Amino acid sequence: MKKRFSIFFSMLLVLSMFLAACSGGDEAGKSGEGEGSKESTKPQEMRVNINSEPFSLNPGLANDATSGGVLLQTFEGLTRIDQDGKPQPAMAEEITPSEDLKKYTFKLRDAKWSNGDPVTAQDFEYAWKWALDPANESQYAYQLYYVKGAQAANDPEVKAPLDQVGVKAIDDKTLEVELENPTPYFLELTAFYTYFPVNSKVAQANPKWHTEAGDDYVSNGPFKMTEWSHSDKIVIEKNENYWDAKNVKLEKVEMFMINDPNTELSMFENGELDWAGSPFGTLPTDVLPQLKDQGNLNIKPIAGTYWYKFQTEKPPLNNKNIRKALSYAIDRKAIVENITQGGQIPAMAAVPPSMIKENEKGYFKDNDAAKAKEFLDAGLKELGLKDASELPPIKISYNTSEAHQKIAQAIQDMWKKELGVEVSLDNAEWQVYISKLHEGDFQVGRMGWLGDFNDPINFLELFRDKDGGNNDTKWEHPEFKQLLIDSQKESDPDKRLQMLKDAEKIFVDEMPVAPIYFYTNAWVQNESVKNVVVSGLGDVQLKWAHIE
């Protein structure tokens, strides 16, 4: 693994130097050539199901896969991840890193917003600083902390001026970015939606520009949104003003919001959908074995972890041993074999094995009932309780979904059987659910994390700061935090990886989350749909898709 990580580190450094001399026009367009450029007489229209209403379609507020799945089609950053998983110039035509890799100069291409306005460097500066403004409560603002001064600006107690953040529009076509430390994956980050630009003229005139389809919802990606029937359907159409529109084949994509996997599969079988299952929607777990036997099921491992978050400020989950007892008592193998049935891997670690090979085995034994009871006894003693019946009530919360419900019911039974713990269940629709988690209004909450970029720190930095944007657990540990900070300054890839492993060991020992399984994407698709790009991180791009 050390060798693989070192190669990856070196490749990104070489890539960043290579981009200094390259122009993005030809390079980014190559992914659309070949099969994707064939003419077809079929209507270039695609229909998918995204399950639920997106949390937000403002790149600075989005913090979930549903929102990201729309934004990746309608917006574009300085770079875009290509079909081979590599960052390529996108809105930036030329990228020049400094010798120490702490400063990047981006020369923007001649690109337009969907309303015809030019995309400017000021639009990037505005969007990044807007997300960092603590008044805007961006959950993903921490993704920008790699930029110099960003964390201080986002901290409501420090209140550092936004004009001290290391992002500056030199002129309309030149953006200069200064980083806190050399960041080998920075050009991957600039392809992520928190780094997307926003049309500053439109956003300043209408702060609610992102809440409805219409003249004010302007974007700069391959597609533009033309309809948003809330809780029903989103329609995106080809953006004729997109700089690389010649390589975009689809004319229209309908995104339905049907939160029932059985209905989704039925619509696919009836020809009403061209794709059923992840990463857009969800397949019913009961039919996965049958679809696999028929040879229709596509399964792809992705860098993601399904876990249960503990609210560590609320009793009894403020006790480390109680958290560990609950985690050790989960039979993960039974969950992936009998419920999810999509080739998932039981997780006894936080970081996926695609990033840390040893995590295929993990840090503890699955379904270790004996150890779980030891932790329970220790926790009860620390809390001054005689037995599990005296524990405060424990509630598992999850967003409405057949699979999430089945997993919660199974774990409820496991905790009762192995530990004698009484558990209640609570479900809510996605937007209500995620708001409750971010507000700390839960005890045990289901959540998954898909990698935003290919580095272990992405799974650990969520929990670096107690009040961090996505740290719903409210857990913080000084040694864990310092290891992450120090790893950002370490140039030796082997030493840096060991720091991250040491940090994960602390994290698993403290157990602010109970990892359950490592994700796979499972789906069926219309055979005529080609070149939908599903990355190893689990996201999806339709820029190169077409109907054959």
Q: Which of 159-173, 333-347, 457-471 has the lowest mean pLDDT?
A: 457-471
Q: Are residues 542 and 496 in the same domain?
A: no
Is the predicted pLDDT of residue 386 greater than 90, yes or no?
A: yes
**Residues 396 and 308: beta-carbon distance below 8 Å:** yes
> What percent of the chain clears pLDDT 70, i.e. is strictly above it?
93
How far apart are alpha carbons 401 and 92 in whole angstroms?
Answer: 40
Give the CATH number of the domain where residue 362 resides.
3.10.105.10
Say how far apart CA 542 and CA 533 lie, in whole Å: 7
d(CA 45, CA 200): 31
Domain with residue 153: its CATH number is: 3.90.76.10
| 167 and 126 together in one domain | yes
Same domain, 13 and 136: yes
- Better-predicted residue by pLDDT, 489 or 105: 105
Whole-number Å distance between alpha carbons of 348 and 359 = 7
Helices 478-487 and 493-510: angle between axes, nearest 10 degrees: 160
Q: What is the DSSP letter of 340?
A: I
**What string of DSSP letters covers 191-259?**
TSGGG----HHHHHH-TTGGGSSSTT----SSEEEEEEETTTEEEEEE-TTSTTGGG----EEEEE---
Predicted local distance difference test score (pLDDT) of residue 407: 98
- Does 280 map to a domain? no
Is the residue at 417 inside a domain?
Answer: yes
- Total domains in the chain come to 2
User: Quick one: 488 and 366 in the same domain?
Assistant: yes
Same domain, 242 and 358: no
118-176 pLDDT per residue, tens: 999 999 999 999 999 999 999 999 999 999 999 999 999 998 999 999 999 999 999 99
Regarding whether 208 and 67 lie in a shared domain, the answer is yes
What does the pLDDT read at residue 7?
A: 32
Pair 192, 305 in one domain: no
Those residues with Cβ within 8 angstroms of residue 255's Cβ, 6 or more apart along the chain or in another chain = 48, 49, 50, 70, 233, 234, 235, 236, 280
Contacts of 165 (CB under 8 A, 6+ apart): 128, 129, 132, 147, 148, 149, 150, 153
pLDDT of residue 1: 34
Least confident of 60-64, 377-381, 406-410, 449-453: 449-453
> pLDDT tens digits, residue range 405-419?
999 999 999 999 999
Asked whether the beta carbons of 248 and 222 are under 8 A apart, the reply is yes
Same domain, yes or no, for 362 and 493?
A: yes
Q: What is the mean pLDDT of the chain?
A: 91
474 with 356, same domain: the answer is: yes
Whether residue 315 sits in one domain with residue 237: no
> pTM (2 decimals)?
0.80
Q: Return the structure tokens found at 434.
A: 């995620």
Structural domain boundaries, residue 105: 2-254+526-547
In which band, very low, low, confident or very high, does the pLDDT at 443 lie, cut at 50, 70 and 90? very high
- Residue 434 is assigned to a structural domain of this protein: yes
Q: pLDDT band for position 33 (50/70/90)?
A: very low
Same domain, residue pair 502 and 538: no
